[in-house]
Amino acid sequence: MSTALVIGGASGIGKATARELYSAGHRVVIADVDAEAARTTAVEIGAGEAGAGDAGGTVESIHLDVTDESSVAAGFEGLDDLAVVVNCAGLSMPGALIELELAAWRTTVDVCLTGTFLVLKHAGRRLIEGGSIVCVASLNGRQPGAGMGSYCAAKAGVLMLVEVAALELADRGIRVNAVSPGLVDTPLTAGIAYVPGLTEEYLENTPLGRAGTPEDVAETITFLTSSAAGWMTGAAIDLNGGAHLKRYPDVLGRVRALAQ
């Protein structure tokens, strides 16, 4: 049974991805900085999937902090037959550039961009020939949002790192791709509901008229890890109901209006 490591797999998109890969018959290892949440998610997936075990999947959890190289290296240690690595770890610390604390910038860039570098570095060393890496970037990797400078810059960097990694790992048949979701309903975006008009503005700028679900993204990630995507590398899939065709909501303006 091949192993799939899902980093940031305790919650949201990572959790849905872990469930998909488990159902597809992988040995799934959920890795997260929140070890307790990772354990709970592993138990939930392992216990709750009637019939999913038929495919032969197993699920377990480990602690892993993408900002700490020794933690990333330890997480990859001993993972035999590692065929799939998905990096979903991420967070956002919003703020206008002229107000953003350096520490907040560093936290976002550390988790989203430097974390992706460390995952690519160690995944590239440990994956079997023909393995697959999927990194979760964002619509904000190509569409700017006022008040989201650190996140936008980090995610744009993720898209380029994925392209470089695809070039460097192709000689071992390892494919490296990205997904770029728009607004997805997860704990990360729960705060949006508290900003009047913001959800509506997102949806007005989303031609398909709805937010994504974690499953929307997990299914595309699973496709990218599968042989159906065997000729895809260095690609980024926009997954946003068409939001990249319109404009990003005025997050900063709406948050400022709320504060007045």
Q: List phi, psi (to 5°) of 159.
A: -60, -40
Q: List phi, psi (to 5°) of 166.
A: -60, -40
Give CA–CA dist 76/98, Å, rounded. Answer: 39
Please identify which residue in 14, 94, 241, 249 interacts with ligand NAI, judged by CB under 6 A: 14
22-51 residues in contact with ligand NAI (CB under 6 A) are: 32-34, 37
Stretch that binds ligand NAI, among 179-187, 193-201, 223-231, 248-256 (CB under 6 A): 179-187
**Nearest one of 175, 186, 177 to 220, comparing CA atoms:** 177
Please identify which residue in 183, 218, 252, 255 interacts with ligand NAI, judged by CB under 6 A: 183
Convert residues 62-101 into a mask of x (bound to ligand NAI by CB under 6 A) and - (unbound): --xxxx--------------------xxxx----------
Please identify which residue in 131, 145, 157, 181 interacts with ligand NAI, judged by CB under 6 A: 181
Closer CB to ligand NAI, residue 115 or residue 249? 115
248 an active-site residue? Answer: no
Q: Are 184 and 12 in contact (CB under 8 A)?
A: yes
Cα 188 vs. chain centroid, distance in angstroms?
11
Closer CB to ligand NAI, residue 1 or residue 44? 44
**Nearest one of 49, 52, 57 to 4, comparing CA atoms:** 57
Q: Which residue has the tokens 């991420």?
A: 90
Calculate Rg over the CA atoms of the chain: 18
Give CA–CA dist 37/139, Å, rounded. Answer: 27
198-257 residues in contact with ligand NAI (CB under 6 A) are: none
- Which residues sit at the interface with ligand NAI, rule CB under 6 A? 7-8, 10-14, 32-34, 37, 64-67, 88-91, 111, 115, 136, 138, 181, 183-184, 186-189
The catalytic residues are: 151
